[in-house]
Amino acid sequence: MSTVFGCIADDFTGATDLAGLMSRSGVAVRLRLGVPSDPPEETDAFEVIALKCRTSPVDEAIAECRAALAWLKAAGAEHFFWKYCSTFDSTPEGNIGPVAEALMQDLGTDQTIYCPAFPENGRSIYMGNLFVGQQPLAESPMKDHPLTPMTDSNLMRLLAPQVTKPVGLAAQRVVAQGAEMLRSELTALRAENTAHVVVDAVADADLETIARACWDMPLMTGGSAVAMPLPKIYVEQGLLPADAPKVSAPDLPAETIIVSGSCSQMTRAQVADYAAKAPSLKLDPIDLAANGVGVALAWLADQDLTKAPLIYASAEPEQVRAAQQELGTARAGAVVEDALAQLVVVARTQGARRIVAAGGETSGAVAKALGISDLAIGAEIAPGVPWCYATSAGHEIAIALKSGNFGSETFFTDALNALEAS
């Protein structure tokens, strides 16, 4: 058999989120960082390709995603999933819609769905409006995101400027009536030439309905949660075995490094919780731009890595804006990503084999710096955040790549405890 389902994720944390949720069903999931250079081999697995294109120029994002699609098609996949963040992180000039249209064109399909809902993590869609907990997206902390500030909660309005074909809605009242009713609604919208359909979801039962209605579409798009029921459906259809071997954690030394570049409200709370009980160092992007990472390297050299020190650049929105005004948005982010990636590589040289990275851009930079090309999915720390196992410079490592908004306030401690228990 060959790959039956191929997934493309727009950042590394989103890819581990997707792979972790699909692994809950007991099927084999392979996670690759970047488009593989080797030709595909026959597998009985869901394949996930992680890209770092969420904030790339549109043409670059499309080219990368098309290359990933071509590799997945060569691996035998016939159905595909375009994964983006559950908070739809994308400005009007963003990549979600353009990539979807490019993939639709390559697949010869005239309709796809958009469902970033993740009820388990407080993301729901009602009448096309995305909510974060009880707040509309545009009133949530996502309004202050340093790269993709979300100033509208309505997914149809967000999507329409990004695409060339009509955008529509499959409302929750339709979803609540089951998979066949949703299929009928999608067929009716297709007859009206509606190519892009936002689908409401307020509970896990809605995700099950959507997956059962759409599993055989050439292309689905959304957050990770709507893909979570798909492995079970594929097993039921006889397309995938359900007896994948369970991944065991390698026996690793205690040396650990934790880094955070995310400035989300939740990550700031997580940093505050952990910094109160472990060694920690805060980085300032303006200082990094002027003076480099020398001070941080000296601090790291003095640390006992068995105490799992934290290095972070997480900051309040007004501090982020000040750095962006001083350095420019792109450079402010880049100096932090580069510094944290360099520090993680140094920590690995000092013996760290357990690594936690918070923030999508940070995680991508860290994984690339470590030279990781593929990951095995291990135990889940929090919904959408698993431990993963890989090889870096010949060393076995465990690495957790956390989206900024995921996890509870005690996430960093929870991560270390989950690894010990696995």
Residue-level pLDDT at 146 = 78
Which ranges of the chain have pLDDT less than 50? Answer: 1
Is position 37 within any domain?
yes
- CATH number for the domain spanning 369: value is 3.40.980.20
pTM for the full model?
0.86
Can you tell me whether residue 20 is helix, strand or coil?
helix
Is position 241 within any domain?
no
Element (H, E) at 272: helix 265-275
Residue-level pLDDT at 1 = 46
Is position 132 within any domain?
yes
Is position 251 within any domain?
no
Query: Does 102 share its domain with 201?
Result: yes
Query: Does 293 share its domain with 325?
Result: yes
Can you tell me whether residue 410 is helix, strand or coil?
coil
CB within 8 Å of 91: residues ≥ 6 apart: 148, 149
Can you tell me whether residue 55 is helix, strand or coil?
coil
Location of structure tokens 């936690």: 356
Query: Does 283 share its domain with 381?
Result: yes
Is position 246 within any domain?
no
For residue 26, the 8-state DSSP code is T
Query: Does 162 share its domain with 273?
Result: no
Is position 244 within any domain?
no
Distance of CA 325 to the CA centre of its chain: 28
Query: Does 97 share its domain with 229?
Result: yes
Residue 181, Cβ density class (10 Å: 0-12 exposed, 13-18 middle, ≥19 buried): middle
Is position 242 within any domain?
no
Contact 117, 84 (CB under 8 A): no
Residue-level pLDDT at 4 = 73
Contact 406, 262 (CB under 8 A): no
Query: Does 72 share its domain with 43?
Result: yes
Of 137, 141, 139, 157, nearest to 94 (Cα)? 157
Domain total for the chain?
2
Of 70, 84, 66, 72, nearest to 6 (Cα)? 72
Sign of CA dihedral 182, 183, 184, 190: positive
CB within 8 Å of 349: residues ≥ 6 apart: none
- CATH number for the domain spanning 62: value is 3.40.50.10840
Instruction: For the chain, count helices (H), then strands (E).
Output: 15, 18
Query: Does 51 share its domain with 187?
Result: yes
Contact 117, 124 (CB under 8 A): yes
Query: Does 355 share its domain with 325?
Result: yes
Full residue range of the structural domain in which residue 49 is found:
5-236
Query: Does 116 share its domain with 232?
Result: yes
d(CA 36, CA 69): 11
Can you tell me whether residue 235 is helix, strand or coil?
helix
Query: Does 58 share its domain with 184?
Result: yes
Query: Does 208 share its domain with 305?
Result: no
Query: Does 344 share its domain with 314?
Result: yes
How many other C-beta atoms lie within 10 A of the C-beta of residue 421?
A: 8
How many other C-beta atoms lie within 10 A of the C-beta of residue 318?
A: 8
Is position 328 within any domain?
yes
Q: Cα 44–48–51 angle (5° rounding)? A: 155
